[in-house]
Amino acid sequence: MREQYRGELAGLSEHMVEMTRLVGSAIARATRALLDADLALAESVIAADESVDALQAEIEEKSLELLARQQPVATELRAIVTGLRMTADLERMGDLARHVAKLARLKYPDSAIPAELRSTMIEMGQIAERIVAKTGSVIATRDVTAAMELEVDDDAMDGLHREVFRLLLGPHWTHGVEAAVDVTLCGRYYERFADHAVSVARRVTFLVTGERAPLAGASPLGGTGPA
């Protein structure tokens, strides 16, 4: 029975890793749909978000069932409850990928991203993809050093986000207000996507070390969530 319980806990982790895989694929495809003005790809990202939601629902149901049946205390209790918070972050990352895809769909057959911002957006998409892949590894391995490396990627994302504003507000912006609105929202989606990924990794760190990551706030479940 104890063996089975261990297996069920590991199963929850595996489901969360699967969620990182799904939202990583979603943000990568959403970025491509955005840059290539690919309507079919955008639609597929929008439709696929249902699988992320379904996986979240399954993890929640299994977690509640485990809490009720196994009555865990201390470390295991904290792991399951923190897992629920991580799952909510991952679900939200799926929503943000869907938002990017919806913007691509809205602007079709144009691209929402002016030429001089393409390379910045490509990089934001790549960092988003990399960061969520690393988050998946952190969940699977509980490697605290890898979790800390995510902060570097997140800093890079913040730098790109500032670069977006620099271009938008600089003297050479010729694309008018509508493109500025689109790019503002899009930049924010990527930045929030990375924030949530970092939040998940910080929660894993807190579970492993019992110590909050620097700047992660006062929550006993490991951070007050993305800033």
Alpha-carbon gap, residue 164 to 116, rounded angstroms: 10
Is residue 165 within the footprint of its own copies (CB under 8 A)? yes
Choose the binding region for its own copies from 1-9, 20-28, 178-186, 203-211 (rule: CB under 8 A). Answer: 178-186
Alpha-carbon gap, residue 225 to 227, rounded angstroms: 6
| Near its own copies in 180-199, by CB under 8 A | 180-181, 184-185, 188
Write out the two tokens for 115. Answer: 């030429």
Instruction: Supply the minimum distance, in Å, between the C-beta of residue 180 and its own copies.
Output: 5
Choose the binding region for its own copies from 33-41, 109-117, 151-159, 177-185 (rule: CB under 8 A). Answer: 177-185
Residue with tokens 């003005």, as numbered in its chain? 37
Q: Coil, strand, or helix at residue 160?
A: helix
Is residue 106 within the footprint of its own copies (CB under 8 A)? no
Instruction: Supply the minimum distance, in Å, between the C-beta of residue 185 and its own copies.
Output: 6
Residue with tokens 């993809």, as numbered in its chain? 129
Q: Is the dihedral of CA 64, 54, 199, 152 positive or negative?
A: positive
Choose the binding region for its own copies from 17-25, 33-41, 68-76, 123-131 (rule: CB under 8 A). Answer: 68-76
Is residue 81 within the footprint of its own copies (CB under 8 A)? yes
